[in-house]
Chains A and B, each alone.
Chain A
Amino acid sequence: MARGLSRQQIGVTVAMIDSYGDLVFEMSHNKQTRRGDPIRELDFAAIEARRGELGMSDGQIAQRIGLSEIQVMYIRTTMERRRFRTNHFQRLLELGGGKRFRHERFTAHEDRFQYHDDAIALREAMTFNPERARYYAEQGWWADDTLSGWLARNVAERPAAPAVILDGVVMDYASLAARVDRLAGGLHGLGLGPGDVIAVQLPNVPDYLVGYLAIARLGAVMTTLYMPHRGREFATLLGHSRARAMICLSDAGGFPAAQTALDLDLEKLQSVIAIGTDVAKAVPGAVPFEDLAAGTASADALGLPLPVAADPFLLLYTSGTTASPKAVPHNSHTMLGNARLGAAEHQLSADDVILSAPPFGHLFALYSFHLALYSGAANLLLPAFTPPDLAATIEAGGATALFAAPAHMAACLGMGLFDKHDCSSLGLMVLSGSAVPDEMARAVDRKLPDCAINQLWGMTETQGALYCRPGDSIETAATSAGQPAPGVEARINDDGELQVRGSMLFPGYFDNPGANAAAFTKDGWFRSGDLASQDRQGNIAITGRIKDIINRGGVKYNPREIEDLLDKHPGIAQSAIVPMPDNVLGERACCFAVAIDPDIDLDGLCQYLLGHGIAKTKLPERLVLVAEMPLTPTRKIIKGRLFLP
């Protein structure tokens, strides 16, 4: 319509718009060219001669090309409409300010980064209860924590302070940040960006942390693979996580990790980044890690946007004892808020030297790293655990805080390493990963009288949810996992199951609705699957696993106390009791054991247990001797992988 007249009344056709549209647009005021200064000079001849360039009115165009004025107006406004792009003013918002304008710095909206579908799917999984989210933010439990922000703070406050120590070689915070910045730039150069999942399989070496921080700087998401993982696990976890890249060794102790990843030929795995000797030649197709970390690209110089706390940045597969792994996404709110709040509770500071016995592929080790980074402390690294190496590293590196699994300590105690090494620098030992035997905790306490022994209870889903605090008595620390962390609520339901919720809790398993349905109560509490009891002071002790319960003809019992007794038997190194199907009673108890005494038998064990007051109904009814137990990285027995012969 123009002046209330339809196109049919005006006599403008689509063909006419197509034919004259560009001409009319160019002759109109939309495109103006002035040669000289004819108007100021009142050079009427020049004005008339160049009207077409100066920009003509509709009437003048109509007269010039033989259309009616209203037809020109219709065609011109149609062309203006067709060419107009909405939101183009963003150029001004992003580029304006005179000197800030640079051609190369502007990218048209349509050409800008956008999260791919997999990244959006992962972000969709970060769905929190809105009331809880508001509450956590109001309490300050969710803030603006990011690894990049923490690293930058440390660089500003203590650039020369030790950040990472391995075998006496120190990398300070400034050097760490510079390497992270370059690696992030290098990863960006590979086409990786925010939301991309990048898998890491490395021992606890400095480049693990460099890689992790670079992935976080990029806004990407790290997923971890344990060192024992091989092609089958690669295929499952890289496929489920939709990983776009993997950082690994070219040669992991004889296992060709990088080549294995390449050979999988996964559709979404774009890059395999390898650490090793002469990677380019040894693993054709792999990208040498060092080329990226020592390259000239820098995330900051490239102006890559900084991540924010709500971005998912970790996708961890549970080391739980159930058969199929579940993907646990975390963002900085849940993950780093927990560490920030925990640093004060653990009484850590920039003066600490923190050592993790478990691998960084496990959340417990990452938790220790997060605590160190938040505190500005040094990370003392132990690439791979052996009891002697752990004790030697504590001594040589002057570790002040140790994060370890009970099995780590049991091994050190068993080998008398605390007598052979000076571990007196330790002021804090946080034990987690599996149940802490009372006597073992007391034994460590006797060996390290100046070190606070603290139990911590957590899961990949919950992080550090319960823990003892420095200052708690050994009685408390040996018999309980202490009290909830800041931001955490815990309850024990009628069945004795420990349930938690809080600012540290993951939002739900990624791409696993079945697991999510089972993991949460209707009112949003996370079912830990652990049995617990609480004393009058509020300390919570983990007493077993719900799934470990043996139901022998309706008599239900937790085999934990029997396992504890068997573990103390001189003929047994390690034991695990699992239910075995029975046609009459439904279930009976079967004992798997790693024997020290090869002649040990079921009758002898039962007599031993009866002698310690165990009821007949709880006695194991079958004994299976195994060479070794299937263990998680925190050396917890994976009962789901104990199969009856």
Chain B
Amino acid sequence: MASTKSADTEGAKQAILDYCLRKGALAAGVADLEALERIAPPGHRPSDLMPKVKSVISLGVGGQTQGAWSVPAKAMGYFGSTETRAYTIAYGAAFFIEGMYQTPAIYCPPDMDNEKGPRVPLQSLKLHAEIAGIGARSLAGDILLHPEFGYMYYASIFTELALEPDQPMAENPCPAPSCVSMYRQIGRTPCQKFCPVQCLSGHIDADGKQAEMHYDMAACAEMSQQYEAVPALLAEAMAAEDAQGRDDILFDPDNKMLWYKMSVGSGGLLAQCFECMRVCPIATKSPLADPIRRSKAKAAT
């Protein structure tokens, strides 16, 4: 996707990416707009959101702390995944671009598509990051991984400023050698084995590369994304035989927790369970995967 850019735009790209890194991003890059437009389905292309978009900038912030990986799974589920640190940087970057270069920019909303429902994102931040070269799809349901930073949260900025695109990663860090070894022994990788709902499966080829990745998103969402439980429970309650039955459904302790989450907008158990990432050596043991490792690496240099 080569394109001709002026020296000014080269400088602008560096300044924007530096801004992102300075504000806390671990990695940042520019995705090839043409590739995004070809891959994303109609309605979800960058130009569908911002008609005059010229560049898509993607950034990633640190995933979990080292301590977070050690908490019990159910507690991990409460952590949620809507990562405000990433969006804050992206928001700031959009202001930075407009202020520095007098060119329109937006922070790409991470929200669901209002027309398509809660399982459909407006834009794929994952696709932006992958094309920008700051993550590659893993066997764990295409969650992006980075060889140095492991598991990250991503955010995107769209701008009418033309910037030189980066290339996707040359190599995919997933599967890690230890995962290949496990697969050779039992036919499954750690993420496949330990998924609570067994929504992951797939194969590794003779070269130790990903051959197939199967992801049952419905099963995954069924466990971790409870918003669909609300109408389901209401329907069950309406169909209950009597008042006691209705009460049992509506005021069941689990369901009361659901009402609580809905009423306060809590992210608890409304995102992902993280079990596949907890057992992923790339997510948890990459050289700069968590603040402790990054701090030690910085001290060593």
Contacts and interface: CB of A to CB of B under 8 A. Distances in A.
A31 interface: yes
A324 interface: no
A60 interface: yes
Interface in A518-545: none
Question: Which 5 A-B pairs have CB atoms at the shortest separation, nearest pair first?
Answer: A96-B73, A57-B41, A30-B218, A97-B73, A32-B215
Given A55-B217, A59-B43, A77-B117, A37 B222 contact: no
Contacts of B213: 32-34
Among the interface residues B38, B116, B127, B224, which one has the most CB atoms of the partner chain A within 10 A?
B116
B46 interface: no
Contacts of B222: 83-85, 88
17 contacts: A31-B214, A31-B217, A32-B141, A34-B212, A41-B168, A60-B41, A73-B115, A80-B228, A81-B232, A86-B232, A88-B223, A91-B197, A92-B77, A97-B278, A98-B190, A98-B278, A98-B279
Interface residues of A, number: 46
Contacts of B195: 101
A216 interface: no
Interface of B: 35, 38-39, 41-44, 72-74, 76-77, 115-117, 119-120, 127, 130-131, 136-137, 141-142, 168-169, 172, 190, 193-198, 209-218, 221-224, 226, 228-229, 231-233, 236, 254-255, 269, 273, 275, 278-279
B142 A32 contact: yes
A42 interface: yes
Contact of A3 (B41, B115, B216, B232): B115
The A contact surface, by secondary structure, is mixed
B197 A29 contact: no
B196 A57 contact: no
B2 to A, nearest CB: 13
Interface string A5-45: 00000000000000000000100011111111101111010
A551 B297 CA distance: 98
Contacts of A33: 212-215
B41 A89 contact: no
B116 A73 contact: yes
Contact of A84 (B131, B141, B216, B228): B228
A76 to B, nearest CB: 8
Contact of B211 (A35, A55, A77, A101): A35
A88 B236 CA distance: 15
Given A29-B217, A40-B130, A40-B137, A101 B196 contact: yes
A35 B137 CA distance: 11
Contacts of B169: 40
Among the interface residues B42, B136, B223, which one has the most CB atoms of the partner chain A within 10 A?
B223
B168 A42 contact: yes
Contacts of A90: 254
A55 B73 CA distance: 28
A58 B212 contact: no
Contacts of B168: 39-42
Given A37-B136, A59-B43, 20 more contacts: A30-B216, A31-B218, A32-B141, A33-B213, A40-B168, A56-B41, A57-B41, A73-B116, A77-B117, A80-B218, A80-B228, A81-B228, A84-B228, A91-B197, A91-B223, A92-B196, A92-B269, A97-B278, A100-B73, A101-B195
A583 interface: no
A74 B62 CA distance: 38
A31 B224 contact: no
Among the interface residues A93, A96, A99, A103, which one has the most CB atoms of the partner chain B within 10 A?
A96
Nearest to A25: B218
A572 interface: no
Contacts of B221: 30
A57 B217 CA distance: 14
A87 interface: yes
Given A34-B213, A40-B172, A77-B117, A57 B74 contact: no
B23 to A, nearest CB: 27
Given A29-B120, A92-B77, A84 B223 contact: no
A32 B217 contact: yes
